[in-house]
Homo-oligomer: A and B are copies of this chain.
């Protein structure tokens, strides 16, 4: 097909007329489809249902060190859960705290603690005039919501397929003691599905922060969330790398089983240096007596070990791979060669990132919404919901059934074409 950019105004007008007629048909369908959030679909939830059977009234609920998981106690998690999530996160169990059902909650609490009490003896952030975070963009809206909520200034840093612009990260972190953190989704990033290169991770570990309490917030949400068993991304382990580089305390690493078992009922974990753990536990012991150990035990008894968890992840991949491939095919077929958008082809994670022509994203999302297809709000992938180019759109293909997804993707393609044609006609 001919590129929209090469079309004459007349050709574009004719094209637009056809597109608008097609859009009317979609309006008549009264669709209600959701591609907005990274939610697992029903079939994905179903593969964890046997986890509901591993604990029952006949089962001994003591964990391997003899602790009765039903009672109070055990601030940092039962040993076998630390082992399992340690293996999942590629960290030693001694470096792990097991939390409740949400790693987002752990990240929020980590920022909140730094605000009120500071990190390892440094001034509490709430006592400073200015605190800044670096935000690789496009990125995860809920990360940005936390830092925005605490009044932390967010500085966008461009992403590339190998990770954030490290020249810029190094400069900002070295030059400005107000820069206290950076949000990272290092593997199968949200929303592009990029994985940081070995060099990127090593440069992270070798940062020379002006602030002693600078921390990398390493949200490894999709560490084992591959789409292709034989074509996976690998990530250099950041805690090890920081230790080697003489920056052992520079990173907080987060993960959870939210997209492994049940999103609302999984277990979350933090991995970090022993110094950081000691600092954190001083606070944690005031916040809780301990997290849900029965649920920790349930997860361990279900998976048995990391191999069980990896086998489980293949089942997830089998369910969602066709969805990613369907969306990619619809985008290829519908937009290939038109020069009105580009998109990523991730090997894992939960999202596809789409970039429209400048100034089109909001209009595309609105047009799709009008026809009943909800996308993540345009701008959501940028701090303050402010995408200066108005071009990035996050596509979340996991939730809808594949047939619905096909229709939703086709409508999305149509909306991209219409809004782009209109835009080009204005120029």
Contact = CB atoms under 8 A, between A and B. Distances in A.
Contacts of A292: 100-101, 264-265, 292, 295
A24 interface: no
A150 B286 CA distance: 10
Nearest to A103: B288
Interface in A101-123: 101-102, 104-105, 108-109, 112, 115-117
A361 to B, nearest CB: 24
A49 B57 contact: yes
A101 B104 contact: no
Interface in A228-279: 258, 262-265
Interface residues of A, number: 58
Nearest to A146: B286
A150 to B, nearest CB: 7
Contacts of A286: 108, 142, 145-146, 149
Contact of A265 (B104, B145, B295): B295
Contacts of A104: 287-289
B145 A263 contact: no
Contact of A72 (B37, B70, B116, B126): B37
Interface string A17-54: 00000000000000000000101101001001110110
A291 interface: yes
Contacts of A50: 57
A44 B226 CA distance: 44
A7 interface: no
Contact of A126 (B70, B101, B116, B294): B116
A234 to B, nearest CB: 28
A71 interface: yes
A68 B263 CA distance: 11
A73 interface: yes
Contacts of A126: 115-116, 124, 126-127
Contacts of A105: 287-288
A70 B44 CA distance: 10
B263 A70 contact: yes
Contacts of A115: 116, 126
A55 interface: yes
A297 to B, nearest CB: 9
A42 to B, nearest CB: 7
Contacts of A295: 265, 292, 295
Nearest to A124: B126
B262 A101 contact: no
Nearest to A291: B101
Contacts of A124: 126
Nearest to A283: B149
B108 A71 contact: no
A74 interface: yes
A263 B72 CA distance: 5
A320 interface: no
A72 B108 contact: no
A59 interface: yes
Interface string A282-309: 0101111111111100000000000000
Interface string A315-327: 0000000000000
B40 A116 contact: no
B70 A59 contact: no
Contacts of A265: 69-70, 292-295
Given A112-B116, A291-B264, A293-B264, A45 B72 contact: no
Interface in A141-183: 142, 145-146, 149-150
Given A286-B108, A292-B265, A293-B265, A45 B59 contact: no
Closest 3 CB pairs of A and B: A265-B294, A49-B57, A70-B262
13 contacts: A39-B73, A45-B71, A48-B70, A52-B57, A70-B263, A70-B264, A72-B263, A102-B288, A102-B291, A126-B126, A146-B287, A264-B291, A264-B294
